[in-house]
């Protein structure tokens, strides 16, 4: 297992989770379970904490002396941006009107999340406290009252009046993903000479010849002609979001909410082939959610075909009003699905 990957998580009082622990995650993890059992909230907790830790590790002082000279003001501001990203994503996902008033605030109850027994976020009374496990003890990197967020010098760079904040994290894909993110990432893939891989994936799925940004719009070349992406259906747009995010996050973790949304079941095997092969090549950990039996069966079928033993299944359910999970590795997943056992939650 790569040192970059999430192997274990502990969640206390985050959204629908009261006291939850799970471990044994794979490189690719398909999450199943009934509606409102916490699949997306689980990914949001992972997203928030893993990206906070990545921000912490990106600072020069972390690489040099484990954070002794960490710019705490910058670090805390970036964590609150991630919290805002989680909130904005969920509002878009449920089709709420976005960012209607200038003084919109962060609506989080107290929580505590820990990954890999290494990094923890503790949010209490609107104060965020990040901590890093450093050999002997939890090291405290200062606390931050999140209502000070708008007074930070960096706030003006992400906020434009009467528009949603312009956030820069690119690892979470939801049904209503922001096309502006994809626009920028396609440009980055072209600069880094990775756009051919994206085009090959689209050819495999949809017989598209090429994707490009022309006159500031994302366009697809089909049968020799370029057409605006907005003219295509939800399925192809969702796949493009997935492929672009996957290709843009080498050695990182990505989160794909309702992965099969809008995608015909006959296309699912090709989708999983791209995800499993590319995630292995780029060392990307994937968490994805689904309700679909066809999607689960396709995932297992392709994992068997590719002999990808780093594919696993996470089944969510409720017992005594507590969210619980069963984490299946490759062999356990194959055995249960092949034997016809129900793996869509309880």
pTM of the model: 0.92
Residue 123 has what DSSP assignment?
E
Written as six digits, the tokens of 258 are 């309702």
Does 25 map to a domain?
yes
303: domain CATH number is 3.40.50
- Give the containing element (helix H, strand E) for 226: strand 225-228
Residue 117 lies in a domain: yes
Residue 63 in any domain: the answer is yes
How many structural domains is the chain composed of? 1
What values do phi and psi take at 226, rounded to 5? -85, 135
H or E element: which one contains 44? helix 39-58
**Do the domain assignments include residue 75?**
yes
| 221 within domain boundaries | no
Parent domain of 272: 8-171+249-338
Q: Is residue 26 part of a domain?
A: yes
Q: Which helix (H) or strand (E) holds 198?
A: helix 195-206
Q: How far does Cα 315 stand from its chain's mean position?
A: 18
10-residue mean pLDDT series, the chain (346 residues): 85 96 98 94 95 80 58 88 83 49 69 93 95 66 88 82 70 72 85 90 89 89 90 89 93 95 94 97 97 96 98 95 95 95 86
Q: Is residue 236 part of a domain?
A: no
Helices 195-206 and 179-191, packing angle to 10 deg: 120
SS3 235: helix
Residue 330 lies in a domain: yes
């Amino acid at each position: 297992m790569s040192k970059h990957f999430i192997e274990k998580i502990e969640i206390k009082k985050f959204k629908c989770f009261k006291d939850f622990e799970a471990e044994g995650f794979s490189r690719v993890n398909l999450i199943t379970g009934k509606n409102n059992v916490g699949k997306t909230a689980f990914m949001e907790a992972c997203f928030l904490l893993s990206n906070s830790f990545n921000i912490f590790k990106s600072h020069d002082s972390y690489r040099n002396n484990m954070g002794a000279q960490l710019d705490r003001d910058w670090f805390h501001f970036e964590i609150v941006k991630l919290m805002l990203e989680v909130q904005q994503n969920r509002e878009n996902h449920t089709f709420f009107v976005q960012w209607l008033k200038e003084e919109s605030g962060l609506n989080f109850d107290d929580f505590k999340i820990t990954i890999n027994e290494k990094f923890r976020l503790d949010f209490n009374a609107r104060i965020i406290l990040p901590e890093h496990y450093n050999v002997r003890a939890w090291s405290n990197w200062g606390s931050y009252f999140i209502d000070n967020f708008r007074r930070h010098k960096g706030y003006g760079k992400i906020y434009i009046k009467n528009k949603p904040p312009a956030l820069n994290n690119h690892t979470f894909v939801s049904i209503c993903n922001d096309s502006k993110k994809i626009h920028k990432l396609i440009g980055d893939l072209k600069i880094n000479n990775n756009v051919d891989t994206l085009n090959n994936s689209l050819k495999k799925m949809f017989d598209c010849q090429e994707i490009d940004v022309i006159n500031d719009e994302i366009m697809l070349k089909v049968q020799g002609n370029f057409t605006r992406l907005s003219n295509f259906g939800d399925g192809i747009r969702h796949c493009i979001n997935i492929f672009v995010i996957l290709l843009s996050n080498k050695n990182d973790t990505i989160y794909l909410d309702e992965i099969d949304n809008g995608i015909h079941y006959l296309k699912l095997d090709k989708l999983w082939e791209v995800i499993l092969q590319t995630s292995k090549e780029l060392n990307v950990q994937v968490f994805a959610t689904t309700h679909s039996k066809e999607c689960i069966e396709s995932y297992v079928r392709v994992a068997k075909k590719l002999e990808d033993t780093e594919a696993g299944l996470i089944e969510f359910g409720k017992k005594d009003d507590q969210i619980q999970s069963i984490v299946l590795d490759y062999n356990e997943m194959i055995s249960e699905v092949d034997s016809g056992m129900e793996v869509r939650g309880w």
